Amino acid sequence: MRPWVKLIVSAGCLAALLWWSDAAEVLARLRGADATWIALAVLAVTVATFSMASRWKITAAAFDIRLSYPRALREYYLAQLINTVLPGGVAGDVTRAVRTRGEADLTRAAQSVIAERILGQIAVLSLMFAGFALALLVPGGADWANFGWVVILTLTGCGVAGLILARRDNATGRFAAKVLSLLRRPALVLHGVVSTVCLIFGFYACARAIGVALPFEAWATLIPLVLCAMLIPLSVGGWGWREGAASALFPIIGASSSSGIATGITYGVVVFVAALPAGAILLVQSFSENHSSEGKPDIP
């Protein structure tokens, strides 16, 4: 699919949401956003980036790829910036694999990137499974009704499918088994917890910035669902889908759809700002390469 189609989808979704909702309320909330909460959101997403880079370093080592932490962090920042500004949300990860193929072949580099992303999603989905299970069993919270059971059954099916796949004696099965084995490493479990909590707090802080106090239950239900909507590849950086999911889910916890859209937009800006250090990395890298080339004598 052509990149401009995904750009049109994101822009079209946002335009439709603003037309359907109270656009004046959305803009008012954005104009009155609290800078302190936004700063906390940027900090939380930054800490998540540092944690995810460390997770990738450990994961890459499992595929016999040796990366220093500064190198892993640099490549992760660059990948995040690319994912934020280019359609599809995976171009940065492809770049990350290509740029690290020098430490191994391209296949293993790609597998390390895919495995790290899967580990991150497993952490988020595990929290969401626990959150919806508690929401359905313990009365008094948001009324998820049948939707909660759909989420539980879907996640259970995904888990069973993963276990079945890991038992197959082929390349895909062996890769799935490798990912499951990585789940037994305490360091990777810890990074999964840290990155997930930081990303969720980042979204929560964005909601607080525009004047919405999400209940604690939302940390393990509503927010993970909104973050998962960003994974839909038919967009640019999750724009449109994230705001659409937030506008649909916020009324369940008693907030307006317009506040959900405003929170989604704020979070999108926060993610972009948190990825901006990648620009400085590119400038330093370009300067170093130019400086190195200038110092070399010309060979006729």
**Helix 69-85 and helix 277-294, axial crossing angle in degrees, nearest 10:** 120
**179, HSE (Cβ side, Cα atoms, 13 Å):** 25
> What confidence tens digit (pLDDT) does each residue in 30-63 have?
999 999 999 999 999 999 999 999 999 999 999 9
- What Å distances lie between residue 241 and 15, 188, 234, 245, 260, CA to CA? 12, 29, 9, 6, 12
Q: Which of 1-15, 20-34, 146-160 has the least mean pLDDT?
A: 1-15
Residue 88: pLDDT band (50, 70, 90) is low
Instruction: List, in sequence order, the alpha helices (H) in the chain.
Output: 3-20, 23-31, 35-62, 69-85, 91-99, 106-137, 145-166, 171-182, 186-209, 222-229, 241-249, 257-275, 277-294
Go through 182-199 and write b for each residue having 16 or more CB atoms within 10 A of its CB, e for each that does not: beeeeebbebbebbbbbb
290: pLDDT strictly greater than 60: no
92: pLDDT strictly greater than 90: no
The ranges assigned to domains in the chain are 3-287
Please tell me the distance from the alpha carbon of residue 286 to that of residue 183, in angstroms, as a whole number. Answer: 37
Say what the pLDDT of residue 300 is: 43
The burial class, CB within 10 Å (0-12 / 13-18 / 19+), for 139 is exposed
DSSP conformation letters of 166-230: HTSSSHHHHHHHHHHHHTT-HHHHHHHHHHHHHHHHHHHHHHHHTT----GGGGGTHHHHHHHHT
3-state SS assignment for residue 142: coil
* pTM for the predicted model, two decimal places: 0.91
Residues 267-287, mean pLDDT to the nearest whole number: 82
